[in-house]
Amino acid sequence: MTQWLMQQTHEDLQRIAARTLAYYDQNAQAFWEGTRDHDVSQNIDALLRHVESTPPLEVLDFGCGPGRDLVRFKALGHRVTGLEGSAQLAALARAHSGCQVLEQNFLQLDLPRERFDGVFANAVLFHIPSEVLPRVLTELHLALKPGGVLFCSNPHGNGVEGWNGDRYGAFYDWPTWRNYVTVAGFAELTHYYRPPGLPREQQPWLASVWRKAPTISTR
């Protein structure tokens, strides 16, 4: 894995998306079997306890994979929509959850405006190349209702970005990640490292929760 030193072309970005999504298409069932029992209740709770709207909530599971967390949000009584770039994972998510799952490439998002009370982006945004990340975060900001909440969890690092096998990843430290998200119009609520109860060197995941900040008129 290497640090990118130059701007990537449109064709580069398309290749990154295609290769990463192909990996998940080819390994969709194995990914489901390997992650179906992961306990991310800490992350789900971190999102839900900061949403100020009255339940049931409208939740977008951004990068929903094969549908594990769609099932959990639905069981809690919320109206949850999935979004997934891999066609095979999206099909599994629909079958497992019975929820609507939007099949969209993260480079070509088409999200409804001010639709969701919360966006749950668990273990997904690190796959997005850093130069596209601001655009994606802006799309998520626009998709949230005023005061809506964004949850993110990503493996953290020291700014290294590139290929890990057939999957692309960008690994940020906390100050860098905080800057990306605040510039996109979010206010920080909290952040923590996972799994809980372990020394920091054994906590590869950085979770953070954000509120959609009000838009300031320039008129």
Q: Could you read off the pLDDT of 160-213 as tens digits, one per residue?
A: 999 999 999 999 999 999 999 999 999 999 999 999 999 989 999 999 999 998
Strand duo 79-84 + 58-62: pairing: parallel
d(Cα 68, Cα 127) in Å, to the nearest integer? 19
Q: How confident is the model at residue 1 (pLDDT cuts 50, 70, 90)?
A: very low
Retrieve residue 59's tokens.
């939740």
d(Cα 2, Cα 170) in Å, to the nearest integer? 10
Q: Could you read off the pLDDT of 9-66 as tens digits, one per residue?
A: 999 999 999 999 999 999 999 999 999 999 999 999 999 999 999 999 999 999 999 9
Would the CA dihedral through 2, 7, 12, 17 be positive or negative?
positive
pLDDT at site 6: 54
Q: How confident is the model at residue 215 (pLDDT cuts 50, 70, 90)?
A: low
Instruction: At 54, give phi and psi (nearest 5°).
Output: -80, 130
Angle, CA of 165, 34 and 168, to the nearest 5°: 25
| Domains of the chain in sequence order | 10-212 (3.40.50.150)
CB atoms closer than 10 angstroms to residue 3: 10
